[in-house]
Amino acid sequence: MTKADIVSEISKSTGVDKASVLLTIEKFMDIVKDSLADGENVYLRGFGSFIVKTRSQKTARNISKNQTIIIPEHQIPAFKPAKVFMEQVKK
């Protein structure tokens, strides 16, 4: 399902025009991205949590140059689904 499909589904079920739904979804995504960039997690009860995870430093290999490199500790965005969400998907 794409963003356009989601917009169409929400528009059909609520009667709100597609432009308003698209604007709302875009704004929601912007807020989630900005919050994660600021180190704040976003919790949506019954759906899940958008969280920032810290990956530890590790050693890797650059095969083409045959040398060892160090990948520093860094943060990545992650999604942790709620228990209700997981149970619905597992069926």
Instruction: Give the tens place of pLDDT for each residue, 15-71.
Output: 999 999 999 999 999 999 999 999 999 999 999 999 999 999 999 998 888 899 999
Alpha-carbon span 61 to 72, nearest angstrom: 14
Full set of structural domains in the chain with CATH: 3-90 (4.10.520.10)
Task: For residues 77-91, give the mean pLDDT.
Answer: 93
Dihedral in degrees, nearest 10, Cα atoms 74, 53, 33, 42 = -160
Neighbours of 7 (CB within 10 A): 20
User: pLDDT value at position 13?
Assistant: 96
Task: Kindly give, in sequence order, each residue whose CB lies less than 8 Å from that of residue 10, ignoring residues fewer than 6 positions away.
Answer: 16, 21, 25
User: pLDDT value at position 87?
Assistant: 93
